Chain A
Amino acid sequence: RKEVEQDPGPFNVPEGATVAFNCTYSNSASQSFFWYRQDCRKEPKLLMSVYSSGNEDGRFTAQLNRASQYISLLIRDSKLSDSATYLCAALYSSASKIIFGSGTRLSIRP
Chain B
Amino acid sequence: ETGVTQSPTHLIKTRGQQVTLRCSSQSGHNTVSWYQQALGQGPQFIFQYYREEENGRGNFPPRFSGLQFPNYSSELNVNALELDDSALYLCASSLGTGQETQYFGPGTRLLVL
10-62 of chain A: CB within 8 A of chain B? 31-32, 34, 42-46, 49, 51
Query: Given the complex, which residues of A lie within 8 Å of B33, measured CB to CB?
Result: 97-98
Instruction: Count A/B pairs, Cβ under 8 Å.
Output: 55
Asked if A42 and B48 make an inter-chain contact with CB atoms under 8 angstroms apart, the answer reads: no
Please report the C-alpha to C-alpha distance between residue A93 and residue B2 in the assembled complex, in whole angstroms: 22
Please report the C-alpha to C-alpha distance between residue A8 and residue B56 in the assembled complex, in whole angstroms: 28
Asked if A43 and B42 make an inter-chain contact with CB atoms under 8 angstroms apart, the answer reads: no
| Chain B residues at the A interface, C-beta cutoff of 8 Å | 2, 33, 35, 40-45, 48, 50, 55-56, 58, 90, 97-99, 101-107
Instruction: Contacts A100-B42, A100-B43 known; list 10 others, CB within 8 Å.
Output: A6-B42, A34-B101, A43-B90, A43-B104, A46-B102, A93-B97, A96-B48, A97-B58, A102-B40, A103-B42
Name 30 interchain pairs, CB-CB below 8 A, sorted by A.
A4-B42, A31-B99, A32-B99, A42-B106, A43-B107, A44-B43, A44-B104, A45-B2, A49-B99, A51-B99, A89-B42, A91-B99, A93-B97, A93-B98, A93-B99, A96-B48, A96-B50, A96-B56, A96-B97, A97-B33, A97-B45, A97-B48, A97-B56, A97-B58, A99-B45, A100-B42, A100-B45, A101-B42, A102-B41, A103-B42
